[in-house]
Amino acid sequence: MRGYGEYRGMRMNANAVIATLGLLALGTAPVFAEQSNNAPAAAKAAQEGLPKAVANALNKGDFNAVRTALLAELKQLGTPESRAGLELQGTHATDDRTVNALCMALEVVDCTSPEVLNEFAKDKDHLKFLKAFFADADWQETYLGCGLVPYHNDWGVRILYDVWKEEKGAVKNKPLAVALASCWGGGETWQNVPIQKKDPAKYNPVRRYKYFQRQQAKGVLYPGFRKLKAWELRFVVAIPQQDWDDESYEWAFKHVNMPWDQYGWACWHAPYTDPSKFGDSVQSGEYNLPFSDESWAEATQRNGGVCGALSHYGTVAAMAHGIPAYTVGQPGHCAYAVRLKRGEWTGGFGGPDGGMHNYIFGNQAPTSYNLMETVFKDDAKIARAYRASFRARALEDLGQDQAAIEAWKQALDAAPLHPFFRKELHSLLVKNGMGPKECLDYLMETLPKYKGHGVAACNMMDDLNGPIAAMDDASKLKLFAEIHRTVAGTPASWAVKCEDTINRHAGMLQSDEARLSLLTDAFAAYMSEGDGTLFGQVLEWAVKTYVQSGKDEMFNKAFAAASAKAAGSGDGGAERNKKMHQAYGKAIVAAEQARSAAAFSALTTAAVKTCKPDANPPALKTQLPKLAQGVLFRMSTTSGFDDPLAHAGVMTPQGGRCHTDREARPHMIVELDNRQTVTGCLIRKVNGNEGRMKRATIATSSDGATWFDQEKTDNMPSEWVVKFKPGTQAKWVRIEFDNPQPEFAHISHFLIFTK
């Protein structure tokens, strides 16, 4: 199956040597080797070693003919898979290296497309480059292994050509050139990469290439830079979605120098400012005037900005020093992430989760970068996987579906979580008649491999919706329960969402009884595993679907059954009430962690009908002004002394109760129903042990990430009333305690005043 070109071209190099196309007479080529000084002679010898029909077509710049000749040669040679069961006329014993090289060349042609290559090759210098490129297995492998291979456009080969021309045919750093080609070229689903539309005088990949080459030669880049593969270098050379100019890299290198592990704080090298010094809003086109001729980095350091500018500033500062980084969008906020070694992305300005502005397997962090790091973790295994994938695609082109299926399975044996290899395998399985029982058996065997990657597991099943829909409800419930167990065991984040999955599952079931079983299984899975974030999302979905539509009984029945199942006990008398209280408490905390105001409200309402909250605070002494409506209360931690059923009451004059665990800096946050002018707040301690909470700070926020202090005290009274600065706008208000040693925090009231 063709059609997933941005993924089809991904290829990691390995210790195993793959011969260049037709390079049998020259022996093998080392992976990622630098271009030799006698490159023209090597290219000429390689071209002479090509299969005659391929060489003739290449010399003419006819890539339709090149493709035809490659397929003909493969059909004649056969593959190991074909010898194991295929009947191809004219097959004979062959060297696997030759098959690998032919399949790889075919992949390059198909990713770029014969038509695009034909047009590009009309220029004599371009054709000269293409001959050198197709004679260089090392460069082809690097290009195919970069992640998002430019698909059906000439951006990729054009960038490589520009670097090749700049270096007079002897490219010294092919992974770096390929990373730039990938970032500028995009992939199949990223056709209009914004960086392509920017002014080439300010955004020039060759200039960027020379910058990194120069800095590497000086030995001033991050020490790990030299070890980065091309797919990793994508996160160093550009931010395809929102890139900054070349001058910003130069400026940031000179002016933002920190210890390697501190670039997550580089954003604060520039001031958080809105409006500008001249009174212009950051949303206006005049914010950077009169300094518009400066680089983005220098203008930001001079004028400041809000989260978007500062996150880009920190990202470019890290990248300019050879450290992989990306900017990331969050609701109402922009953050970033940096990476000093494989698999360990750390946040800057509230990152790394959210919508990545540079990515390979989708843009939703952390699931996307976790999946990427897992897939590419083992260089040797991923290399084997790609060799098998190239053969699988060639076999599909030759009409050998069964052999292609076996080749895809070999690829997935080496890289089980590669989402796009699975996608193509699934397409072939469905095309060749996969039935519901076969599908169930396949998925029950496959899902355990996705432990820790539940979102990827859900995504990989989308291509099998047909066979899944044909299953009976009992089979579906068996499958769905396994899926939710897999998702529940996935590291949680606010950016990981599971509502769509359970909603889709419910829609595929035929009866209310089956949907009740699904809800019970889902509650039990998320109640038993994880930190509660995903549990909160399932609760939010269930509240919207059942409670808010008048089906409280179904919700409560499923919740009670799941609670008993998770607790491993029956459902009688006082013990049942105790366990229900505990279950609802855990559910409310999960809703808070998921930042779901709807689930928080509905669960609290449902809980107090079943279980009485544990709170009876005395009346307030202070005359209250107009109160803002709090819709969500959350804390840094909970504890065995806490009663989440009473959390909502904390935001009301009647009061409630909350109790953190022992912490050095415990905090509580009230979220309001909307961003508004706030004039102050009142916080009251729970009677008893008030002396635990002395040093405290009140802060406000409009975006949930950037906080501004309003008042501090070293001796917080039992009932503390704070007036805010005039005109303060906020949607969140926080109290944070600063203890000399870890201590509890507990309050009965947290009220916000408004106009």
Over residues 568-581, the mean pLDDT reads 60
Of 195-204, 274-283, 335-344, 689-698, the range with the lowest mean pLDDT is: 274-283
User: How confident is the model at residue 86, as a pLDDT?
Assistant: 39
| Helix axes of 246-255 and 205-218: crossing angle, nearest 10 degrees | 20
Q: Which of 101, 142, 118, 119 is CA-nearest to residue 9?
A: 142
User: How confident is the model at residue 425, as a pLDDT?
Assistant: 97
Over residues 233-256, the mean pLDDT reads 96
User: How confident is the model at residue 544, as a pLDDT?
Assistant: 81
Q: Is 631 exposed, middle or buried (0-12, 13-18, 19+ CB in 10 A)?
A: middle
Owner of token pair 């990373």? 179
For the stretch 460-518, pLDDT in tens is 999 999 999 999 999 999 999 999 999 988 887 777 888 889 999 999 999 999 999 99
User: How confident is the model at residue 483, as a pLDDT?
Assistant: 94
User: How confident is the model at residue 276, as a pLDDT?
Assistant: 66
CB 108 within 8 A of CB 156: no
Under the banding of pLDDT at 50, 70 and 90, the label for residue 23 is: very low
User: How confident is the model at residue 549, as a pLDDT?
Assistant: 81
Over residues 103-108, the mean pLDDT reads 92
pLDDT, greater one: 533 or 139: 139
Q: Is the pLDDT of residue 42 over 50?
A: no
User: How confident is the model at residue 280, as a pLDDT?
Assistant: 64
User: How confident is the model at residue 336, as a pLDDT?
Assistant: 97
Of 25-34, 239-248, 550-559, 697-706, the range with the lowest mean pLDDT is: 25-34
Whole-angstrom distance, CA of residue 755 vs CA of residue 751: 14
Of 291-295, 542-546, 696-700, the range with the lowest mean pLDDT is: 291-295
Identify residue 675 by its one-letter amino acid code.
R
User: How confident is the model at residue 180, as a pLDDT?
Assistant: 97
User: How confident is the model at residue 690, as a pLDDT?
Assistant: 81
Under the banding of pLDDT at 50, 70 and 90, the label for residue 9 is: very low
User: How confident is the model at residue 478, as a pLDDT?
Assistant: 97
Percent of the chain with pLDDT over 70: 86
Length of the chain: 755
Helix (H, G, I), strand (E, B) or coil at 680: strand
User: How confident is the model at residue 584, as a pLDDT?
Assistant: 80
| Helix, strand, coil percent values for the chain (each to nearest 5) | 50, 10, 35
Sheet holding 354-356, edge to edge: 345-348, 333-339, 325-330, 354-356, 364-365
Over residues 137-147, the mean pLDDT reads 85
Under the banding of pLDDT at 50, 70 and 90, the label for residue 569 is: very low
pLDDT, greater one: 75 or 311: 311
User: How confident is the model at residue 343, as a pLDDT?
Assistant: 93
User: How confident is the model at residue 610, as a pLDDT?
Assistant: 67
CB 604 within 8 A of CB 592: no
For the stretch 279-314, pLDDT in tens is 666 555 555 555 567 899 998 998 888 899 999 999
Of these ranges, 48-62, 174-188, 286-300, 484-498, the one predicted with the greatest mean pLDDT is 174-188
Under the banding of pLDDT at 50, 70 and 90, the label for residue 552 is: confident
- SS3 sequence, 83-125? HCCCCCCCCCCCCHHHHHHHHHHHHHHHHHCHHHHHHHCCCHH
CB 46 within 8 A of CB 21: yes
Of 22-36, 139-153, 557-571, 607-621, the range with the lowest mean pLDDT is: 22-36
For the stretch 711-742, pLDDT in tens is 999 999 999 999 999 999 999 999 999 999 99
Of 15-24, 114-123, 534-543, 571-580, the range with the lowest mean pLDDT is: 15-24
User: How confident is the model at residue 284, as a pLDDT?
Assistant: 55
Under the banding of pLDDT at 50, 70 and 90, the label for residue 700 is: very high
- The whole-chain average pLDDT of the chain stands at 85
Whole-angstrom distance, CA of residue 299 vs CA of residue 276: 11
Over residues 184-204, the mean pLDDT reads 89
For the stretch 600-632, pLDDT in tens is 887 888 777 767 676 677 778 778 999 999 999
